[in-house]
Homo-oligomer: A and B are copies of this chain.
Amino acid sequence: MNNAIINNMEITTVNESKINSVDFESIAFGREFTDHMFSCDFKDGKWQTPKITPYQPLTLDPSARVFHYGQAVFEGMKAFKDDMDDVWLFRPEDNFNRINISAKRLAIPEFPKEYFLNGLSALIDLERDWIKKGEGNALYIRPFVIATEPAISASPANEFKFMIICSPVKSYYKGKVSVVFAQDYSRSANGGVGFAKAAGNYAAQFYPTSLVQKEGYQQIIWTDANTHEYLEEAGTMNIFFRVNDTLLTAPTSDRILDGITRKSIIQLAKDNNVAVEVRPVSVKEIKEAAKNGSLKEIFGSGTAAAVSPISDFKHGEETFKLEEQEDSYATFFKKKLTDIQYNRTEDKHAWRVKVEK
């Protein structure tokens, strides 16, 4: 192993990469990890020296707060390789800002910006061989923070670990997605943590999702917990509805994640003269639009999923199938977005950030 101190980071690299043991063609999402990881401990009231080390297990006391109280937040982002072998991040400062928004709501101390951006760059630079060229290939990057303090009182921890791990990925969903509009279960409450990438938000969706999966659906589009009349988000995706030629999506709130892909699509819609309405979208209007033929498409947006077209949806006992569109907005926005991500086009909003060698 080689050791160095760069940008106040302690960097220890592996002697030999495990990359040759990985079959990149048949890789499953989030199961293979790269050679290194970034970590930084919070103790004695401050974030300590950040480290890049070989990817390795964590050793934690069984009383660590994350195991008991779910005091943990995360982010999801991707790095892409262009045809010149340059590596690009997409709006990384937005992920940085959001992990601290999530952290604040979960009583986790904010992480310093330079630690995040320098650590991210140094780690991705080390792992650039893990990023394959070609549509759908990317390095999925998972920053996360966990409460490590060994004490089971139900109060915020005083010790945390911030980490970044990386996993080579192909596209997340295969083909189109069938969804159910939620009627009984809910994802989040007013005044709750739905807007945060809080760990507990995700496990809470597993059981209801497993119920719809038994019926052949993949995902739930969550509705407001109070009335179940308004469509909110899909847990791992924000949701867009195309009614005639207008895109509709729910406004962000304390129940809905402020998705980076979501806001990029809203901007791309404006850039391309596609009408977009950010407003509450009711189950009733979407069902009526499906019945009268004006509902053309539904698609999800998210870092893992990118743009995910939805083929059909169910609400109660009613099922609705969406026709294939010649001028698909899902296809259009996916291309616009990935062209920027893979450095195939102009990037007028400066969303792309090059990972320097």
Contact = CB atoms under 8 A, between A and B. Distances in A.
Contact of A68 (B104, B202, B209): B202
B72 A68 contact: yes
B191 A182 contact: yes
A161 to B, nearest CB: 9
A293 interface: no
Given A68-B142, A146-B67, A193 B189 contact: no
Given A37-B62, A60-B58, A107 B207 contact: yes
Interface residues of A, number: 70
Interface stretch (A18-26, A83-91, A151-159): A151-159
B226 A71 contact: no
A100 to B, nearest CB: 13
Contacts of A8: none
A205 B193 CA distance: 9
A153 B154 CA distance: 28
A152 B202 CA distance: 11
Interface string A5-41: 0000000000000000000000011110100010000
A125 to B, nearest CB: 20
Given A58-B59, A62-B165, A198 B203 contact: yes
Contact of A204 (B106, B184, B207): B106
A235 interface: yes
A105 interface: yes
B156 A206 contact: yes
B67 A72 contact: yes
A136 interface: no
Contacts of A63: 30-31, 33, 142, 165, 167
User: How many copies of this kind of chain does the complex include?
Assistant: 2
B153 A30 contact: yes
A70 B226 contact: no
Interface in A129-161: 140, 142, 144, 146-147, 150-156
Given A62-B57, A67-B66, A206-B156, A191 B199 contact: no
Given A189-B186, A204-B198, A61 B69 contact: no
A66 to B, nearest CB: 6
A69 B106 contact: no
Nearest to A146: B67
Nearest to A235: B154
B182 A186 contact: no
A146 to B, nearest CB: 5
B206 A203 contact: no
A235 B74 CA distance: 24
Contacts of A191: 182, 184-186, 225
Contacts of A182: 191
A51 B182 CA distance: 41
Interface in A181-196: 182, 184-193
Contacts of A199: 66-70, 199-200, 203
A47 interface: no
Contact of A201 (B152, B186, B200): B200
19 contacts: A28-B151, A57-B60, A57-B62, A60-B60, A63-B167, A67-B144, A69-B206, A105-B204, A106-B204, A107-B203, A140-B152, A154-B202, A155-B206, A156-B210, A190-B225, A191-B225, A192-B204, A199-B199, A200-B201
